[in-house]
A and B are shown apart, each in its own frame.
Chain A
Amino acid sequence: MAQFDLNDDSVVVIIGSGAGGGTLANELAQKGIKSVVLEAGKRFDISDIENDEWTMFQKISWLDKRYSGGGWHGSVNHPTLPAWIVKGYGGSTIHWAGVALRFKDFEFKTRSTYGAIDGANVEDWPIDLEEMTPWYEKAELKMGVTGKTTGMPHLPWNNGFRVLAEGCRRTGRSDYRSGPMAINSVERDDRPACQQIGFCMQGCAIGAKWSTMYTELPRAEDTGKCEIRTDAMVLRIEHDSQGKANAVVYADKDGNQHRQLARVVCVAGNSIESPRMLLNSASAMFPDGLANSSGQVGKNYMNHTTGGVYAVLPEKVRMYRGTSVAGIVGDEVYHDAARGFAGGYYLEFLSLGLPFMAAFLEPGNAGWGRGVAQAMEAYDRMSGVWVLGEDLAQERNAITLHDSEVDQHGLPVPIVSKTPHNNDYEMTAHMYETSTQIYEAVGATDVYELPAYPATHNMGTNRMHADPSKGVVNAYGQAHDIDNLFVSDGSQFTSSAACNPTLTIVALAIRQAEYIAQEMNAQNI
């Protein structure tokens, strides 16, 4: 692996090694561009992966101090765990389930499609599906997504999804399938086919599921052009007198601080830490934080309108056997104002293990007693879905800095505020109703509605906009205010769309790498 000097100012510094940062590092490395990746977490490898929900949660989650705020139930029930994301080599792509959906065209054009919505801050992206299609294809080839681009068949259907699918068939639906998933259904790219282990969200023990941990990151390191420093928590980004980013200050695992010079800085710490870093980097020249002349850094935090639905069937299902997200229902992904809400939503079959089911069935202090115990006795007869839909950007949903409490590095603790919009209440009711109908059609005796989990999809807090007064970055993720500062993760999203974000994060990172290379060659940055 390459080693670069702290005073080497020719390197691109990438902050974070997850979906965005990991992809960008490898793309740049393959083009011969030197980079240093700074990753706050430890170096994990596939041997760290265990089939145990709490063990893995404890091992790899981001557990630095954070607060939940706003009106969602989590500010009471998950007060210090607003989001469930990873700190480590590979970022949240260790935990992720592998669903790899593209945005629909209208989801890039939410303002034009939905119009202005009271209380929301909905805008159009500066890019659309036509522009993104070739990048989506590159992302699908890179990640190994089942479907037409790779020609890999979707995965075989497991018990839990077969129940859901039959409910879909009986309620006249047509769009339900076991993909697209970034999980090998056949051996591909030096990685094996899925063995139906389950525990996808604890990390895939055999590497069938794409993760930057065993694809992009080691491949970037192998080029000799990329150095990945783990246990390197970035504290702030610095700039020169012209207002160009020029260095990144980070703390190592002993708390010692280092200052890495940089030609270009790319922020990919996920949508809570990325804006937090920019806000913490405020200076005399940029008193409201870096790249924040629009005032939109940290605002418009989106994490999907979600919930869970678990149905008890008359016979054993054993939903935990096999792929955790084994199938996707797409019939509800369209916009029709007559439904009473803007945007669409997916139903994704999702198995939870027994420990997580008992924790999330009724989160918070009330989650005990005969109701919970009885439900748990039906655990092996359950099938269920995670429902997720468009979450409208709102300015009040934001990452802000605590005014007195600091973390172990002395940085103000982030407060992650989320208050559902009326649109969310309407959509959630519809989601629960649809899911219940589907499961009742296949004989469900009980149906449990679960509120949102701590957020796994975090988006929007450094959003793209053609107009520098309305967004933080341009169509390439380049800060409007600082040419050599990029945002390379889901915080770029202008809208959340209904689908899981990672394919889009990866597609944008591939496209951004191309742009960075071009701009570096042209000496523009």
Chain B
Amino acid sequence: MSIRFHRLRKSDEDRVAMSRRMFLMTTTMAGITTNAMMGGTAFAGSGVLNEAQSSSLLRMVQDIYPHPDVLQLSHYEAIAATVMKNADADADVAKSLTDGLGQIDAKAQELFGVPYVEIEDPDAREGLLRHFQNEGFFQGVRWTAYFGIYDNKDIWPLLGYEGASAEHGGYIDRGFSDITFVPEGPTLEERMAEVQS
């Protein structure tokens, strides 16, 4: 959202590790359809996370993309369930997730004297999570949340996006130029005159 040209370079080792992750996140994950991702797993049914860890995960998903007035808790639960399902399926993912959640709580205790989920100020929670944003587990959760919200056809209408239009004949007769707070564009005659003069 701002210019980032001057951001510091990571060490080469970090970069290679991150490259791999980002490659997976920006390309492989893009292919996962929201349905496949949401898989219908019941929220509480993790074989990997205990109840406290599950609550932390759910809080984390909400803090990553907070839309309290737009989304329901169930939207976030579906994302947390996807994260847990992925952790159930892969021991490495599970370990980095549980370790990561542990580190978040440890940092929360250090800074605020309470576990992460008990911090009431949303800014403080976001600030806490910023410490972990370059970690693989964090970005794994973040991209799952990204796809679960912004690439989710069920959520699009809640955020004012209408999705595919070709099957409805496009917007030519459906409001491509229907706003009223600025003047209309030139008429066909005016546009014709412009290119034929």
Given B3, B5, B64, B170, which contacts A197 in the complex, CB threshold below 8 Å?
B170
Q: Is the CB of B171 within 8 A of A322?
A: yes
State A77–B30 Cα separation when bound (angstroms): 16
Q: Is the CB of B184 within 8 A of A157?
A: yes
Interface status of A75 (Cβ within 8 A of chain B): yes
Interface status of B192 (Cβ within 8 A of chain A): yes
Interface status of B90 (Cβ within 8 A of chain A): no
Interface status of A115 (Cβ within 8 A of chain B): no
Interface status of B162 (Cβ within 8 A of chain A): yes
Q: Is the CB of B150 within 8 A of A322?
A: no
From 345 to 373 in chain A, residues with beta carbon under 8 angstroms from any chain B beta carbon are: 353-355, 357-359, 361-366, 368-373
From 57 to 90 in chain B, residues with beta carbon under 8 angstroms from any chain A beta carbon are: 63-67, 69-70
Interface status of B95 (Cβ within 8 A of chain A): no
- Given the known A-B contacts A54-B30, A196-B172, A364-B4, are A80 and B23 also in contact in the complex, defined by CB atoms under 8 Å? yes
State A365–B172 Cα separation when bound (angstroms): 38
Could you give, for residues 451-486 of chain A, a 1 whenever the CB lies within 8 Å of some chain B CB and a 0 otherwise? 100000000000000000000000000000000000
Q: Is the CB of A370 within 8 A of B171?
A: no
- Residues of B contacting A267 in the complex (Cβ-Cβ under 8 angstroms): none
Interface status of A411 (Cβ within 8 A of chain B): no
The total of Cβ contacts below 8 Å across the A-B interface reads 229
Interface status of A330 (Cβ within 8 A of chain B): no
Could you give, for residues 163-197 of chain B, a 1 whenever the CB lies within 8 Å of some chain A CB and a 0 otherwise? 11111011110111111011111101001101110
Q: Is the CB of A71 within 8 A of B26?
A: no
Q: Is the CB of A75 within 8 A of B1?
A: no
Q: Is the CB of B164 within 8 A of A370?
A: no
State A371–B126 Cα separation when bound (angstroms): 11
- Residues of A contacting B26 in the complex (Cβ-Cβ under 8 angstroms): 78, 80-81, 359
- Given the known A-B contacts A158-B176, A158-B177, are A366 and B15 also in contact in the complex, defined by CB atoms under 8 Å? no
Interface status of A73 (Cβ within 8 A of chain B): yes
Interface status of A321 (Cβ within 8 A of chain B): yes
Of all chain B residues, the one with the shortest Cβ separation from A158 is B176
> How distant is B140 from chain A, measured CB to nearest CB, in Å?
12
Interface status of B156 (Cβ within 8 A of chain A): yes
Could you give, for residues 119-162 of chain B, a 1 whenever the CB lies within 8 Å of some chain A CB and a 0 otherwise? 00011001001100110000100100110011100001001111
- Residues of A contacting B174 in the complex (Cβ-Cβ under 8 angstroms): 321
The count of chain B contact residues (Cβ–Cβ below 8 Å) is 70
Interface status of B93 (Cβ within 8 A of chain A): no
Interface residues on A, range: 35 or more
Of all chain B residues, the one with the shortest Cβ separation from A59 is B31
Q: Is the CB of B64 within 8 A of A368?
A: yes
> How distant is A407 from chain B, measured CB to nearest CB, in Å?
13
Given A71, A153, A315, which contacts B188 in the complex, CB threshold below 8 Å?
A153
Of all chain B residues, the one with the shortest Cβ separation from A317 is B179
- Residues of B contacting A432 in the complex (Cβ-Cβ under 8 angstroms): 3
Q: Is the CB of B64 within 8 A of A79?
A: no
State A342–B170 Cα separation when bound (angstroms): 41
Most chain A CB neighbours (cut-off 10 Å) among B15, B64, B67, B182 = B182
A-B residue pairs in contact (CB < 8 Å), sample of 9: A51-B165, A61-B27, A72-B5, A151-B195, A354-B161, A359-B26, A366-B133, A428-B3, A449-B2
Which 9 pairs across A and B sit closest by C-beta, in order of nearness?
A157-B185, A380-B160, A195-B170, A51-B164, A322-B176, A197-B170, A358-B150, A153-B191, A354-B161
